[in-house]
């Protein structure tokens, strides 16, 4: 009885929009999907502000710790770079990431030998003991300047270098221990190049959501325009547009995207445009079908009798009443765009390295599936699957919520 009442509860009175929203968010799958999409969008918006590796493209590589398991931790030595500091305002870090003023070196153990620090390599099961790096103390702590652009560590120079090299050795050792030796944990492990998997996944979220949003926007612009022209004017205009749609419809989507990609070239924006130019045909067919049914309504005839222009009748009176199915198909196209981009990146003709992409991550690490590190490929695969499933559930929920049928009430 409770299940019957839950499925047939009374819809509150109010506008059609309020009733549609009530039906939409009464669906638990839609609520969960909306939460997933919200978290994914939040991760994409914050980007480098929340990634453990905030360097551009999260591309800090350490081959010494490649393909480590989730939860792996290692000690790092921060070595100041011998270059002028780069200004990095907040907006630049948010959008593109920032280069650090220091480089990091993973190690197992360290020891001091006079004015130098010696690092041993960290193996997969412990410290191997082999000497991996050796640095002068002043090279770790300071960016040593040079008047001619070359690095010079010779003692006795009458400038800052001489004062640094003449500093107290014990004091420099204490400063290195306190400020330059840190322990870093990789929550999702590292990939084959020693990059942080969590950072790569978070920045890859930007690519997936961006390609979905821009591709859907392009498909809506072309699809609504072509579908409106075909449905409203009919005749030879309709025949020409339908012929063009059928030609594009006969070509497999992935092959058409690959062909457009070869014409436009490989790159970030080229993928968005290529996918968008292949998805508008579905929108056009839906809009055309809706307009064919609406153009004969009384209010459209009244608009014609009042002498309104065709453009006003289409965009002010017909299209607003046919957007329900377009919204539903846009959600499905969003999911399709994410899948197509991942497939193109997996084939190597999508987003190009070092830009992180879920498809690229699978391509780089799929060989580890049969080894002892399957999560390197399964983690981005799960991200793709969950995101696509969430958008499909949203589309199904929108379809049910925008249905003209009214739920029975008790």
d(CA 205, CA 380): 10
pTM for this one? 0.83
Q: What CATH code is carried by the domain that includes residue 24?
A: 1.10.3720.10
Q: Is residue 372 part of a domain?
A: yes
| 80 and 20 part of one domain | no
Q: Which residue, 139, 285, 170, 164, is CA-closest to 222?
A: 285
In the chain, how many domains are there? 2
Q: Is residue 54 part of a domain?
A: no
Region 219-228 average pLDDT: 90
Does 322 score more than 90 pLDDT?
no
Write the pLDDT tens digit of every residue in 23-47: 878 888 999 999 999 999 999 999 9
Cis upstream peptide for 338 (omega within 30°): no
Write the pLDDT tens digit of every residue in 162-200: 444 445 788 889 999 999 999 999 999 999 899 999 999
Write the pLDDT tens digit of every residue in 47-84: 999 999 999 999 999 988 888 999 999 999 999 988 77
Q: Are 65 and 374 in contact (CB under 8 A)?
A: no
Alpha helices in 8-116 (DSSP H): 16-25, 28-46, 90-96
Does 215 score more than 70 pLDDT?
yes
Does 358 score more than 90 pLDDT?
yes
User: Model confidence at 386, in pLDDT bands (50, 70, 90)?
Assistant: very high
124-138, 147-161, 274-288, 380-394: least confidently modelled range: 147-161
pLDDT at 42: 95
Structure tokens at 371: 């080894």
Q: Is residue 371 part of a domain?
A: yes
Structural domain of 378? 13-42+198-401
Q: Are 237 and 230 in contact (CB under 8 A)?
A: yes
Domain final position from 130, 153, 186: 186
- Render 153-164 in DSSP notation, one character per residue: --TT-SSHHHHH
pLDDT at 14: 59
| 181 and 291 part of one domain | no
Residue with token string 């739920």? 407
| 236 and 304 part of one domain | yes
Give kind and range of the element (H or E) at residue 323.
Answer: helix 323-347
User: Model confidence at 148, in pLDDT bands (50, 70, 90)?
Assistant: very low
pLDDT at 12: 58
User: Model confidence at 361, in pLDDT bands (50, 70, 90)?
Assistant: very high
User: Model confidence at 249, in pLDDT bands (50, 70, 90)?
Assistant: confident
Region 131-135 average pLDDT: 78
Structure tokens at 216: 């859907």
| 140 and 168 part of one domain | yes
What's the mean pLDDT when you consider all of the chain? 82
- Render 221-289 in DSSP notation, one character per residue: HHHHHHHHHHHHH-HHHHHHHHHHHHHHHTS-HHHHHHHHHHHH-SSHHHHHHHHHHHHHHHHHHHHHH
Tell me how crowded residue 117 is: count the other CB atoms within 10 A of its CB: 25
Domain final position from 152, 186, 220: 186
Q: ∠ at Cα 324 (283, 45), nearest 5°?
A: 80
| 88 and 175 part of one domain | yes
Q: Which whole-number Å values give the CA distances from 324 to 149, 219, 283, 319, 397, in the listed order?
A: 64, 16, 12, 10, 12
């Amino acid at each position: 009885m409770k299940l019957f009442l839950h499925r047939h509860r009374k819809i509150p009175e109010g506008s059609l929009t309020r009733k549609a929203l009530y039906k939409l968010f009464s669906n638990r799958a839609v609520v969960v999907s909306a939460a997933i999409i919200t978290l994914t969008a939040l991760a994409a918006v914050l980007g480098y502000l929340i990634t453990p590796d905030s360097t551009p493209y999260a591309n800090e590589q350490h081959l010494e710790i490649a393909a480590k398991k989730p939860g792996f931790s290692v000690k790092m030595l921060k070595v100041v770079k011998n270059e002028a500091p780069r200004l990095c305002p907040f907006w630049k870090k948010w959008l593109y990431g920032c280069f650090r003023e220091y480089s990091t070196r993973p190690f197992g153990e360290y020891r001091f030998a006079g004015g130098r620090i010696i690092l041993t390599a960290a193996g997969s099961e412990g410290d191997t003991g082999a000497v991996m790096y050796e640095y002068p103390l002043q090279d770790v702590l300071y960016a040593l300047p040079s008047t001619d652009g070359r690095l010079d560590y010779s003692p006795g120079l009458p400038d800052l270098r001489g004062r640094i090299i003449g500093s107290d050795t014990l004091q420099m050792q204490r400063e290195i221990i306190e400020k330059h030796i840190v322990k870093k944990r990789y929550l999702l492990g590292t990939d084959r190049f020693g990059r942080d998997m969590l950072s790569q996944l978070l920045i890859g979220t930007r690519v997936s959501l961006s390609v979905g949003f821009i591709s859907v926007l392009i498909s809506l612009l072309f699809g609504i325009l072509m579908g409106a022209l075909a449905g409203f004017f009919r005749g030879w205009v309709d025949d020409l547009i339908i012929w063009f749609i059928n030609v594009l419809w006969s070509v497999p989507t992935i092959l058409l995207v690959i062909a457009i990609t070869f014409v436009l070239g490989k790159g970030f924006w080229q993928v968005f445009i290529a996918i968008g130019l292949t998805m508008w045909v579905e929108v056009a067919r839906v809009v055309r079908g809706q307009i064919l049914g609406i153009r004969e309504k009384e209010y459209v005839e009244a608009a014609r009798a009042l002498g309104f222009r065709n453009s006003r009748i289409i965009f002010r009176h017909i299209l607003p009443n046919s957007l329900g199915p377009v919204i539903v198909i846009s959600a499905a196209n969003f999911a399709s765009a994410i899948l197509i981009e991942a497939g193109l990146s997996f084939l190597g003709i999508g987003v190009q390295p070092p830009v992180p992409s879920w498809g690229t991550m699978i391509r780089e690490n799929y060989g580890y599936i049969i080894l002892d590190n399957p999560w390197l490929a399964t983690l981005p695969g799960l991200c793709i699957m969950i995101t696509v499933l969430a958008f499909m559930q949203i589309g199904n929920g929108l379809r049910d919520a925008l249905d003209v049928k009214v739920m029975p009430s008790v």
